[in-house]
Amino acid sequence: SQQGEEDPQALSIQEGENATMNCSYKTSINNLQWYRQNSGRGLVHLILIRSNEREKHSGRLRVTLDTSKKSSSLLITASRAADTASYFCATDPQTSGSRLTFGEGTQLTVNP
Amino acid sequence: NAGVTQTPKFRVLKTGQSMTLLCAQDMNHEYMYWYRQDPGMGLRLIHYSVGEGTTAKGEVPDGYNVSRLKKQNFLLGLESAAPSQTSVYFCASSQPVAGNQPQHFGDGTRLSIL
C-alpha cells in the first residue's frame, strides 16, 4: 500500500484563492517531499521538509509537517491558472535508504 | 543541461514482444530509479540503482529487468510484454546523500501493450 495518501483527490478553485492539500503517511520518515506534475510531463521537485522541521516556505508555497500525526500539508497562496497540475507527496521512510514512496496525488485545477 | 532524458517517448508493442527503455542523466548522479505510473495508483518503484554496476528490486519488479553498465545510463527491459505493463514509465536520478536530496525526473515513456 502507498506510504503517502493525499487528500483531496481533486480540488478546483478560482484564481487568487488559496489551495491546501494534505498528505498522511504511516511509518517514521527522514523527510517528506512535495512534487508537481503538469499534464504529460515528469514530476518536478517543489520542496523538502525534514523530520525535525515543522514548517517551511518557498515563494507562494508553505509546507507543514506534524510527525506526531504523521501528516503534512501543502498550501499554495494566491493561486494562478498556471498552478493547475497534480501534486504528490513523497516520503523517505527511515528504513528505505534513498527510495521514496509516492502518494496518489491531488489534481488541482485553478480556474481563471 | 538536459537533466534526465528518456527514449523513446511513445511506443506501442504487441503482447510477447520485447523492448528496452533508455534513461540518460547528465548530472553525475549516483542513484537512478525506474517507476511506473498508472491512473489512481501514483508512482510505483520498479527497480533502482545506487551506483554503476548495481541494481535492486523495488515494489513491482516482476516482468522487468534493468542494467546500469554506465553511471549515466539506466536501462529498463521488458522481455515479454504483457497488457498489464501498459503504463507511463518514469526514470529519475538523485545524489547519494540519503534522505536529503530531491529526485529529478524525465518526461516519461508512454507504453501501450496490445
Q: Which residues pair with B113 in a beta bridge?
A: B13
Place of cell 507504453: B111
- Which residue has cell 493547475? A84
Cell of A83: 498552478
Render pLDDT for B6-64 as a digit per residue (tens, 0 to 9): 999 999 999 999 999 999 999 999 999 999 999 877 899 999 999 999 999 999 999 99
How close, in Å, is residue B21 to chain A by CA atoms?
16
pLDDT of res. A84: 98
A50 lies within 8 A of chain B by CB = yes
Q: What is the reported pLDDT for A5?
A: 79
pLDDT given at position A1: 36
Contact A98 B96 (CB under 8 A): yes
Provide the grid cell at A49. Answer: 521538509
Nearest to A2 among B31, B42, B96 (CB): B42
- The string of pLDDT tens digits covering residues A6-64 is 888 999 999 999 999 999 999 888 889 999 999 999 999 999 999 999 999 999 999 99
Q: Do A98 and B92 make contact, defined as CB atoms within 8 angstroms? A: no
Q: A14-18, A90-94, B88-92, B105-109: which has the minimum mean pLDDT? A: A90-94
Q: Nearest CA to CA, how far is B31 from chain A (Å)?
A: 8
Average pLDDT for residues B65-73, to the nearest whole number?
Answer: 97
H, E, C per residue of A55-87: EEEECCEEEEEECCCCEEEEEECCCCHHHCEEE
Model confidence pLDDT, tens digit, residues A50-107: 999 999 999 999 999 999 999 999 999 999 999 999 999 999 877 666 688 899 999 9
| Chain B residues within 8 A of A2 when measuring between CB atoms | 42
Average pLDDT rounded to a whole number, residues B87-114 = 89
Residue B12 three-state SS:
strand
- A59: Cβ contacts below 8 Å, ≥ 6 apart: none
Cell numbers placing B97 = 546523500
**Which of A49, A45, A50, A106 shows the shortest CA–CA distance to A79?**
A106
What residues have CB less than 8 Å from A83, skipping those under 6 apart? Answer: A19, A76, A108, A110
Among A37, A69, A36, CA closest to A54: A69
Report the candidate in A75, A43, A19 with the shortest Cα–Cα distance to residue B102.
A43
Single-letter code of the amino acid located at B46: I
What is the rounded distance in angstroms from the CA atom of residue A95 to the CA atom of residue B99?
Answer: 10
- Cell numbers given for A34: 512535495
> Per-residue confidence at B101, pLDDT binned at 50, 70, 90?
confident
